[in-house]
Amino acid sequence: MRIWETSGGDYDLKRSFIAVISIGSVERHGDHLPLGTDVIEASYVAEKIAERINADLFPPIWYGSTRAMRKFNGTIDIDPDVLFLYLKNVLKEIARNGYRYIVVVNGHGGNSDIIRTAAREVSQEIDTNIIIIDWWRDLAQEDRYKIFKAPGHAGEDETSVMLYIAPHTVNMSYAKTHIEKPLPLQVYSKKYDSILYPHALLGDASSGDPEKGRIWLEKVVEDGVRKIREIIDSLEKKRS
């Protein structure tokens, strides 16, 4: 049930005990992908998962914290403290409406730590269970690396996904390739950001293929549904 399209009466009668919400960012994804790539992808995954687990789907949160892409036109970078407070408030309000489980499908790496912190605080303040999925790295990873040779930000995997779910938003005439071996530990550095993303892209966008995108997304949704059901079944047994 898409709650923003649902009447109040139907919401009262048909409401689930599980809510799903997606969050992404508005930021540059190379020159070939739309600025809303992270939300478009996360919303697709969220909707497919919600359908399979009979959950209520909430509208996406479009803006995120995206420091690494600030130098590129089209990027909207939200201060982490602002995003934290907003996200915490949204999660609290969803929980206040009686949902025992809230699934957050995140499509942007810069949001991850903020989401975890907000979820941890909300779960301590309100009796709810929050499941966080960074969909591109938590789901179907074996399949990801079997299917794609050069994945990454706006790379082969994201390009393939967008060619499948929203081909009208992709302009492959702008597709580039930039391969950079990642450092062995996590590094926060403007210098390193400029090395990784000289074109707001990491990977081989030119190898994007909608069929590869379809195959991976099917595996992603299947894996997500399985893991969420496993978590809910386990917690519900302990609840009874």
Q: Hey, which residues does 101 pair with through a beta bridge?
A: 18, 129
Q: Looking at the 3D structure of the chain, how many domains does it have?
A: 1
pLDDT of residue 147: 97
Cβ–Cβ < 8 Å for 154, 202: yes
Q: What is the mean pLDDT of each run of 10 residues along the chain (240 residues)?
A: 96 96 98 98 98 98 96 97 98 97 98 98 95 97 96 97 98 95 85 91 97 98 98 86
**Could you tell me where the beta strands, DSSP code E, fall in the chain?**
18-23, 56-57, 101-106, 129-134, 177-178, 203-204
Non-local (6+) Cβ contacts of 140 within 8 A are 216, 219, 220, 222, 223
Q: 187 phi and psi, to 5 degrees?
A: -130, 130
What pTM, to 2 d.p., does this model score? 0.96
Measure the CA–CA gap between 95 and 126, rounded to whole angstroms.
Answer: 7
Question: For the domain that residue 128 is a member of, what is the CATH number?
Answer: 3.40.50.10310
Task: Quickly tell me which residue has 């997606």 as its tokens.
Answer: 22
**Structure-token pair, residue 115:** 């989401």
Cβ–Cβ < 8 Å for 206, 177: yes
pLDDT of residue 19: 98
Cβ–Cβ < 8 Å for 122, 88: yes
Instruction: Judge residue 106's burial from the number of C-beta atoms within 10 Å of its C-beta, 0-12 exposed, 13-18 middle, 19 or more buried.
Output: buried
Strand-by-strand arrangement of the 101-106 sheet = 56-57, 18-23, 101-106, 129-134
Share of the chain above pLDDT 70, in %: 100
Instruction: Give the domain extent around 54.
Output: 3-239
Q: Which is it for the CA torsion 178, 149, 211, 50, positive or negative?
A: negative
